Structure 1
Amino acid sequence: MPLPVSILDLATVARDQPVGEALAGTVALAQKAEESGYARVWYAEHHNMARIASSATSVLIAHVAAHTTTIRLGAGGVMLPNHSPLTIAEQFGTLESLHPGRIDLGLGRAPGSDQNTMRALRRDNTSSDTFPQDVLELQGYLRGESLIPGIDAYPGKGTDVPLHILGSSLFGAGLAAALGLPYAFASHFAPAALHQAIELYRREFKPSQQLDEPHVMAGYNVIASDDQADAERQRQEVLRSRVALILRPGTPYTDEQADVLLESPQAQHLHQMMTYSAVGTPDVIQKQVNQFAEETGADELIVAHQGTRVEERLRSVDLLADAYLG
Structure 2
Amino acid sequence: MTKLSILDLVRVTEGTDARTAMDNARDLAAHAESWDYNRIWVAEHHNMAGIASAATSLVVSHMAAGSKKIRVGAGGIMLPNHAPIVIAEQFGTLERLYPGRIDLGLGRAPGTDQITVRALRTTHEDAERFPQDVMELQAFFKPVQPGQRVQAVPAAGTNVPLWILGSSHFGAMLAAELGLPYAFASHFAPAHLMAALEIYRSRFKPSEQLDKPYAMVGVNIIAADTDAEAQRLSTTQKMSFANLLRGTRSFSQPPIDNIDDYWTPAEKAQAQNMLARSIVGSPETVSKGIDALVSETGADELIIVSDVYDHNARLRSFELIASTQN
1:15 shift after superposition: 1.4
Corresponding letter in the other structure for 1:24: D
| Alpha-carbon contact 1:32-1:317 (below 8 Å) kept | no
Q: Are 1:46 and 1:54, in contact at CA under 8 Å, matched by a contact in 2?
A: yes
1:268 Cα shift?
A: 2.4
- Aligned equivalents of 1:120, 1:148: Cα separation in 2: 36
Q: Deviations over 1:100-150 (max 9, x none)?
A: 000000000000001111111111222200000000000000013579941
CA shift, 1:260, in A, is 4.5
Conservation of the 8 A alpha-carbon contact between 1:144 and 1:152: no
Q: Give the stretch that moved more between structures: 247-256 or 68-77.
A: 247-256
Return the alpha-carbon distance in structure 2 between the equivalents of residues 256 and 311 of structure 1: 19
Q: Which amino acid aligns with 1:240?
A: M
List structure 1 runs of 4+ shifted beyond 2 angstroms. 144-149, 246-264, 266-269
| 1:22–1:310 contact (8 Å) kept in structure 2 | no
Displacement of 1:259 after TM fit?
Answer: 3.6
**Cα distance 1:224–1:41, how it changes in 2: closer, same or farther (>3 A)?**
same
Question: Secondary structure of 1:226's match?
Answer: coil
Structure 2 partner of 1:308: 309
Instruction: Trace 1:212-223 onto structure 2 (pairs within 5 A).
Output: 212-223=211-222
Equivalent in the alignment of 1:69: 68
Q: Which residue does the alignment assign to 1:97?
A: 96
Secondary structure of the residue aligned to 1:106 is strand
The secondary structure found in structure 1 opposite 2:124 is coil
Equivalent residues of 1:216, 1:300 under 8 A apart:
yes
CA displacement, residues 213-232 of structure 1 (integer Å, 9 cap, x when unaligned): 00000001110001221101
Counterpart position of 1:43: 42
- Mapped to 1, the partners of 2:146 and 2:138 lie a distance apart of 9
2:3 maps to amino acid: P
What is the Cα deviation at residue 266 of structure 1?
A: 3.9
**RMSD value, Cα:** 2.1
Contact 1:278 / 1:285 at 8 angstroms: preserved in 2?
Answer: yes
SS of 1:26's partner is helix
Mapped to 2, the partners of 1:251 and 1:86 lie a distance apart of 34
Where does residue 277 of structure 1 map in the other structure? Answer: 278
Tell me by how many angstroms 1:248 deviates: 4.4
User: Separation in 1 of the partners of 2:244 and 2:146?
Assistant: 40
Aligned partner of 1:196 in structure 2 is: 195
Q: Match for residue 87 of structure 1?
A: 86
Q: Does 1:208 align with 2:207?
A: yes
* 1:177 partner amino acid: A
**How much has 1:20 moved relative to structure 2?**
1.3
Partner secondary structure for residue 129 of structure 2: helix
Partner Cα separation in structure 1 for residue 248 and residue 274 of structure 2: 20
CA shift, 1:295, in A, is 0.5
Partner of 1:268: 269
Q: Deviations for 1:200-225, whole angstroms, at most 9, x for unmatched residues? A: 00000000000000000000111000
For the 8 Å contact 1:261–1:267, the answer to whether it is kept is no
Against the structure 1 CA distance between its residues 250 and 41, is the aligned structure 2 distance closer, same or farther, given a 3 Å change threshold? closer
TM-score if structure 1 supplies the norm length? Answer: 0.95
CA contact (8 A) 2:219 2:277 kept: yes
Q: Match of 1:291?
A: 292
**What is the deviation of 1:251?**
8.0
Match of 1:10 in 2: 9
Contact map agreement 2:49 2:249 (CA 8 A) in 1: no
**1:118 matches 2:117:** yes
Aligned length: 324
* AA aligned opposite 1:136: M
1:242 lines up with 2:241 in the alignment: yes
Taking a change above 3 Å as real, the CA distance of residues 232 and 148 of structure 1, as seen in their structure-2 partners, is farther
Contiguous gaps of at least 5 residues in structure 2: none
Quick one: distance in 2 between partners of 1:222 and 1:284?
A: 10
Q: 1:220 is matched by which residue type in structure 2?
A: V
**Partner Cα separation in structure 1 for residue 210 and residue 292 of structure 2:** 27
Q: Distance in 2 between matches of 1:282 and 1:266?
A: 29
Which string of whole-angstrom CA distances, capped at 9 and with x for unpartnered residues, describes residues 280-326 of structure 1?
110111000110011001111111112122112100110011112x1
> Quick one: distance in 2 between partners of 1:20 and 1:148?
44
User: Counterpart of 2:138 in 1: which secondary structure?
Assistant: helix
SS in 1 for 2:217: strand
Question: Which letter does structure 1 place at the counterpart of 2:278?
Answer: S
The TM-score with structure 2 as length reference comes to 0.95
SS in 2 for 1:193: helix
Identify if the C-alpha distance between structure 1 residues 304 and 251 changes in structure 2 by more than 3 Å, giving closer, same or farther: closer
Task: Summarize the alignment of residues 134-213 of structure 1 with structure 2, pairs less than 5 Å apart.
Answer: 134-145=133-144, 149-213=148-212
Q: Provide the rounded CA distance (Å) in 1 between the counterparts of 2:147 and 2:50.
A: 39
Contact 2:45/2:112, CA 8 A, preserved across alignment:
yes
Relative distance call for 1:147 and 1:165 in structure 2 (3 A) is farther
* Counterpart amino acid of residue 203 in structure 1: S
Unaligned runs of at least 5 residues, structure 1: none
User: Structure 1 residues 170, 185: CA separation in 2 closer, same or farther (over 3 Å shift)?
Assistant: same
1:234/1:278 CA distance change after superposition, 3 Å: same
**Match of 1:316, as an amino acid?**
S
